[in-house]
Each structure stands twice: as C-alpha cells, then as structure tokens.
Chains A and B, each alone.
Chain A
Amino acid sequence: MSTPVLEIKDLHVEIEGKAILKGLTLTVKGGEVHAIMGPNGTGKTSLAQTLMGHPHYTVTSGQVTLDGQDILAMRTDQRARAGLFLAMQYPSEISGVTTANFLRTAINSLRGEGNQIPLKEFRDRLDETMKFLEMDPKFSNRYLNEGFSGGEKKRNEILQMLMLKPRMAVLDEIDSGLDIDAIKVVAKGVKSLNGPEFGSLVITHYQRILSYLKPDFVHIMMDGRVVKSGDYQLAEELESKGYEWVRAEFSTPL
C-alpha cells in the first residue's frame, strides 16, 4: 500500500446557513502526525465531521482529496472504504447491537463481498486488540457504547480504529475525559498504527496526549481557519501562554 495523502484546500463549510469553516487548508501525509488545537467553537469538530461526510454540514466551496480522489463526492461509507476514519468527540450509542457484532459487520463491509473475515480470526484479533488496549473482554458483548462512560467510549473508538486499520485517521478529542493511564493507553493505540501508511490528525485541547504522540505539526484553528502552524514547540507554547497571543497576532490586519 502506498503512502496516503489527505489534502484540504480552501474549505468553506456551513451549518444551517451559518459559515463555520472559512477557507481551511491543510495537508496530512502518511507517516505524519498533525495536531489541531484551538478555542471552543472554532470549527474543529465541524472539520472532522465534514471530512467524514456528516449530512448536517454543507460544503460551499473548496476541495478535499485522499490520494487524489475527491472524497467530498463520496458517501460516508465510501470514505471509510477509501481508508478514512473518524474517532468522534461524541460517539453514538447503538442499542441492541453488540460491539463485537458491529465490528465484524464493519470489517466485512470494508473487506467487501466474498472476502469476509473468518469468525475465528476475528475473535482472535478482537481479543488481542482488547488486551493491548487493556479493555475488559466483557465490553465486546455489550451494546455499542450504550451506558459506557466517557472514557470507555473513547477507548472503544480506538479499539475500532485498530480493528479497522484505516490509512488516515481524524481523532476528535480522543483524550477528553480520560484519566492519565487511559491517555497513555490511547496514545499507545494510535502509535501502534504509526508508519508510512498511516497519517493522523489529532484534535485536542491538551498537551498531555501530544507529549506521547509527538506530533510533527501543530496547527492552531480560530474562526474556521488555520491561523498558525508550527512544530511540537507550538503546543508547549500554547500550554504556557494560552490563545490570547495568537488571537492578538491573528486579528492584526495582514
């Protein structure tokens, strides 16, 4: 498999007629870890959801391609099959569907007709991955996210990511609501995929997870745009100085 490239060019997005993303440009390549930080309500989740094709968000202009393919023209499931994955800030609860059953259906959807995963192989992989993420095996037989704590849901997102092996992952606040040990586990999960065939875009408010993931690039988003990019140093700078100085710099007329 080749190195994936996600290219976002001058993306404008509206929700219910209100402009949310206002010309966002960003490129993520395989082998790279990008972090996005920014104050509440600046459009980080909107970006993530738009990349995955959430029906509430309307793209008014701009382009998004994965390996040169226009993903904005694809349905959400096609994007997933193209290798895109979104760990959601607020994962849905699906009553009556066990995590295991769901995961097997998802893997088989990605693999396509006639190439279904043998049950034993699936079971083994699931057991192994859950052990790696220090998850109680009971979770696989519970209904998907139903009654899970915030942290359990986040861990379940990472479980799904490891089972589905995407090529490009967007992780929206995967660290929120996690205790320190859980953050380590989640970071370990993400790092296990790192390599030239996997790129990631990590949305977070906190420096702790970045200290484990060591992003190659850190972007600051404000008012629907990337207003500043840098390396890991930028995250540390934000941690100590907050957003005010960026805001000041950003609001100065260019």
Chain B
Amino acid sequence: MDTIAETNTMAPLEQFILDHYGQEPEWLLARRRRYGSLYLELPLPVRQRTPLKNRKLDRIPVLVSQPVTDISPNSSMFNLVTVNGRSVHATLPESATAQGVVLLSLREALRQSPELVQEALGSVVDDTVDKFQALNAALWQDGLFLYIPPRVNLTEPITISHYATADATAVLPRTLMILDRESRATVNEQYVSEAGLDKCLWSCATEIILHDAAVLQYGAIQQLSASAEAFVRRAARIGRDARIDWNIGEFGAGMVVSEHLSVLDQPGGQTYSTTVFFGSRSQHQDYTATARHVAPHTASNMTARGVMKDSARSVFTGVTDIKKGAVGSDGRQKEKILMLSDTSRADAIPSLLIEENDVFAAHAASAGPIDAHAVFYLMGRGLSETEAVRLIVHGFLAPVIDTIPVGALRDEVWAQVERKILE
C-alpha cells in the first residue's frame, strides 16, 4: 500500500518526514526538512523547450517503510537493485570485498559510515536546482553507496538496476560513489520500469566524487516505460588528474529531463561524455551535458548522437563552461541528430561560456532529416525500407556507440537502438 505524502503544506510534509525517516540521524532529518520546505517554495521549473506546467504534485504517494521484495527481472545479474526507490540487495564479488570495496544500500551506509555519507551527500549534485531535485533531497527512499579504496583497480563492472513496478508513483533513488586516489572502476546504472496506466514520477540523483588520479567508466541506460516522467541529475567532481567517461544511453520515459555535469576543479582533470538517445512516439527528451572547467589544464569532450522518429521531441544542450583561471583548458563538443520523420523535432544547442582567453574550445552541432536518396539507393538493392533505415541509423550511431569501452553496455545500447527502430 502506498503511503501518501501530503505535499501541499509544510506541516503534513514535516509530519511525513518524521513518521517515515524519524530513525535517521538528526543532521539528515534536518536536511530533509530543509529540502522539504524548499520543495514547497519552488515553483515548477520553467524550461525553455520543455513545458512542465499542469503537474499535480500536492499529494505524492511515496513507498517508504513497508518491506519490499525483490521482484525485478534478472536481479541476480546486478550488484545492487532498487525497487521503487528502495534497495533490495547488494552483493559484490569476493575479490572486490577482499580489496576493501564497499557497496551498500545508502541507508545501510548511513549506519556503517555516517561521517562519510554526511560529508558527501549533496556535495556534488545541486539539490536546490529545481523543485524535482529538492523533492529527491527531501524524500529519497534509498539508493546506493559505493566506495573504492586507494589504488584499487576493480576490473569487473559494478552493475546497478533501478526498477519500478506498474503501481509505483514516485521513485526517488540516490547514488553516491566515491573513488579514492588512483582507483579505477566501471559502474553501470540501468533504469527500467513496468508500463503503468498512471504517471510515475522519477527523480534520481547520482553523485560521484573522484579523488586524485581516479578513473571511472560510468555508464547509464534509461529505458523507462512511457508512463514515467523522469528527472535525472548526475554530477561528478573530478580530482587532480582524475578522469570520468560518461556513456549514457537514453531511450525510454514519456518525458525526461536529464543532466550530467562534470566539475573540473583540480588541474589535469578530464571528462569524456557520450550520449546516445533515440526518441519515438510522443516522447519528450530534454538533455543537458555540462563541463565546468574551473582549474587549469582541464579537458572535456562531449559527444551526442540522437535519432528521432514519429512525433518525438528532443533538446540537447551542451555547455562548455570555462571559468576565469582555467588556463590551458580544452573543451570540445559535438552534437548530431538524425530525424526519421517530418513530425519529429530536435534542437541541438551548443553553449560556450568562456571567461578565459588562453583556452581551446570547439563545437559542432547539426540536426537533419534522413537522406531520402540514401534510403532509395539501399531499397534499390533489395533492402526493405525498415532495413534501409536500420542500416543508415547503424551507420550514424556506430562511430559513437562503438567507442563505448564496456562491452556489455555497448551491446545493450545496440539492443535498445534495435528495439526503437522496430518500435
């Protein structure tokens, strides 16, 4: 049964927090109350190309404290699974545990390492950014905590599945990852939900802290059902000479606002980001990738490739933000979108905010229809229209997808592309 959070005024919301999160440490309760009140204060966000009006958010049913059973598909394949926002199991290979790697549900981490969690939680993702993020900060149910000790090189990928059932209404997981000095890891998060009749609100946060010279291969695949409206925030703080590779595949959800931010505030930090998205039917997708160069000699390279069909709508904004003092930095971005229908719409918006002179910045963006002559050419050799389109889409995406270094993730991205072509 759902527990309804009356979220129209502070008193019931505060009571809700007390009832359901009352066992948590005082600092966290205070934090939840603080963001609860911010949530109430904030209006619905105004996004230039994504209308978010007319959303009723005054009663948000949140599953919090009832026991939850693991009913997600293939859950044994994952190191950690959340169901409707709550963590149901966490397992690590023996070899990882032996090296001191810690993977816990976020609530369990609060019990085992409260100081670490307190220090890190909300230190990278800006929980004040909008109403949906504040909601996550106030009412997050659970999530995961990953810690990789110094110099540990974790070769096996850590895989996480966030799953929601058809009757879920608000799913608010949080991921917190800390890679200590010179460590290396690969982490893949997957977002899946059952098709539901009623809208389901997802507000997810992933926070990543990379200490000096740490290297993270981060992958995410979002394949939520059309009933999901998702707000996804990911941010990484990148230490000296550390590096993150974002590989993000966005395929599902009726409406999605997704952002990933790299904060390069130590010299020599690097971020590489690849986003592949495929919109179909009446999906609305609004993505932002940001590289914020604060320290000198930091590098960013962001690539996005999108395919749009039916009457889907997408916005991709790439932000290369080079602050004063980030001398010798190098920021590049490239967005390319292929439209398979006249009724789809896409905007690729490169945004360069450059306060420093001694830097290199470059961008390229394009959106265009599929070449009708090319389709004709291929059909003239016997390929059906679907096969012709598939070949062209493959050719369009291959240069990007094939650079994804994690084989399992790459295969899954291809599988999703395939599914969307035939959809």
Contact = CB atoms under 8 A, between A and B. Distances in A.
Interface of A: 52-56, 75-77, 79-81, 85-86, 88, 91-97, 102, 105-106, 109-110, 143, 160, 164
27 contacts: A53-B376, A53-B379, A76-B376, A76-B379, A77-B379, A77-B382, A77-B384, A77-B385, A77-B388, A80-B381, A86-B380, A92-B371, A92-B373, A93-B374, A94-B378, A94-B392, A95-B396, A96-B396, A96-B398, A96-B399, A97-B391, A102-B378, A102-B381, A106-B382, A109-B383, A110-B381, A110-B382
B334 interface: no
B51 interface: no
Nearest to B383: A109
Interface in B133-171: none
A97 B395 contact: yes
A229 B55 CA distance: 73
Nearest to A87: B380
B360 interface: no
Contacts of B391: 94, 97, 102, 105
Given A97-B391, A110-B382, A55 B372 contact: yes
Across the A-B interface, give the 6 residue pairs with the lowest CB-CB distance, nearest first.
A96-B395, A76-B379, A80-B382, A109-B382, A106-B381, A97-B395
B363 interface: no
B392 A80 contact: no
B399 A77 contact: no
B421 to A, nearest CB: 14
A54 to B, nearest CB: 5
Contact of A80 (B374, B380, B385, B398): B380
A96 B397 contact: yes
Interface of B: 371-374, 376-385, 387-388, 391-392, 394-399
Contacts of B376: 52-55, 76, 92
Given A77-B380, A77-B384, A94-B392, 5 more contacts: A80-B381, A91-B377, A92-B377, A93-B374, A105-B387
A70 to B, nearest CB: 18
Given A97-B392, A97-B394, A92 B374 contact: yes
Contact of A76 (B371, B380, B394, B399): B380
A81 B381 CA distance: 8
B377 to A, nearest CB: 4
Contacts of B387: 105, 109
Contacts of B371: 92
Given A94-B395, A96-B396, A97-B391, A52 B382 contact: no
A84 to B, nearest CB: 8
Interface of A is mostly: mixed
Contact of A109 (B373, B384, B395): B384
A85 B379 CA distance: 11
Nearest to A144: B395
B381 A109 contact: yes
Nearest to A97: B395
A105 B395 contact: no
A92 B383 CA distance: 15
A216 B144 CA distance: 78
Contacts of A75: 379, 385
Contacts of A85: 380
A64 to B, nearest CB: 15
B68 to A, nearest CB: 44
Nearest to B399: A96
Contact of A77 (B372, B373, B383, B395): B383
A81 B372 CA distance: 20
Nearest to A109: B382
Contacts of A53: 376, 379-380
Contacts of B374: 92-94
Contacts of A77: 379-380, 382-385, 388
Contacts of B383: 77, 105-106, 109
Nearest to B371: A92
Nearest to B379: A76
A97 B381 CA distance: 14
Contacts of A79: 380
Contacts of A102: 378, 381, 391
Contacts of B377: 88, 91-92, 94
A40 to B, nearest CB: 20
A88 B380 CA distance: 10
Which of A54, A76, A93 gathers the greatest number of chain B CB atoms within 10 Å? A76
